[in-house]
DNA sequence: AATATTATTCGTAATTTTGCGAACATAAAA
DNA sequence: TTTTATGTTCGCAAAATTACGAATAATATT
């Protein structure tokens, strides 16, 4: 068994963050979050990049568990994976919330 | 002026996410969030990687605005950048909150 | 002035990411 | 059965990321 360098939570949070670490993938999620129907073509039309690249970004989001796809005739329907989305929301909330509580400025300045 | 492919928010969120997209950088932030004193050496001791690599990760977080450093004698003191940290919390909260409200399952499954 | 401590920068290598167009796969429609 | 429409995969190139040790810089300490 390899050394557990980081915690499961840290690894998972990093995985989510990495998947969201590109504006095109943020834009895809933004788009999916406000759509009912969400075919590949619709997403592709929204983005200024080649469709093969869009497909790659979708795969990255899918592998991180943030979205899911379903084949539907010659089309493919994508949507947010709400369960993992919720999990991501919790993890990011916990992570980003752990420093704001301590009021006052930063410990480093002045 | 180049084409504004993505919104400022999307770009900023992606920048934050990208900076957090590595377990070592998550671990650094976790550590900084619960420390008062936070010298490079302390951070370095927590991580299973070379100090030059730690320095690189710190630079990445600093360039994203999530942390800041201050020279103090031969040591360097790091801490969370609370202002941007708060901003990140707002952006992630808004982003990750925009899909959870719609109750029910995913649009794709079944 | 010489040495020790602390952290960054440099040089390098291996891997991953990003992006494109062409080729391919799949299934509906003609 | 041959098109047509829709996406994915392949092959490739350029750039960025990750990681390390050695060298360097800066400042205390002796």
Contact B95 A70 (CB under 8 A): no
pLDDT in tens, A99-108: 765 555 555 4
Q: How far is the CA of B75 from the C1' of C2 (A)?
A: 21
Binned at pLDDT 50, 70 and 90, residue B110 comes out as very low
pLDDT recorded at residue A109: 47
Contact B30 A79 (CB under 8 A): no
Residue with tokens 């994508």: A78
The shortest CB-CB distance from B27 to any of A10, A30, A97 is to: A10
Residues of B in contact with A38 (CB under 8 A): 107
Write a three-state SS string for chain A: CCCCCCCHHHHHHHHHHHHCCCHHHHHHHHHHHCCCCCEHHHHHHHCCCCHHHHHHHHHHHHHCCCEEEEEECCEEEEEECHHHHHHHHHHHHHHHHCCCCCCCCCCCCC
Is residue A74 over pLDDT 60? yes
pLDDT recorded at residue B106: 56
Query: Strand, helix or coil at B17?
Result: helix
pLDDT in tens, A18-73: 999 999 999 999 999 998 669 999 999 999 999 999 999 999 999 999 999 999 87
pTM of the model: 0.92
Q: How far is the CA of A31 from the C1' of C24 (A)?
A: 29
């Amino acid at each position: 068994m390899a050394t557990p360098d980081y915690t499961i939570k840290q690894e998972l949070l990093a995985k989510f963050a990495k998947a969201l670490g590109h504006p095109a993938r943020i834009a895809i999620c933004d788009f999916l979050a406000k759509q009912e129907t969400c075919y590949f073509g619709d997403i592709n039309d929204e983005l200024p990049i080649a469709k093969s690249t869009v497909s790659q970004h979708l795969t990255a989001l899918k592998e991180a568990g943030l979205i899911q796809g379903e084949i539907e005739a010659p089309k493919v329907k994508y949507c947010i994976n709400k369960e993992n989305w919720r999990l991501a929301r919790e993890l990011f909330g916990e992570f980003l919330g752990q420093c704001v509580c301590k009021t006052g400025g930063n410990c480093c300045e002045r």
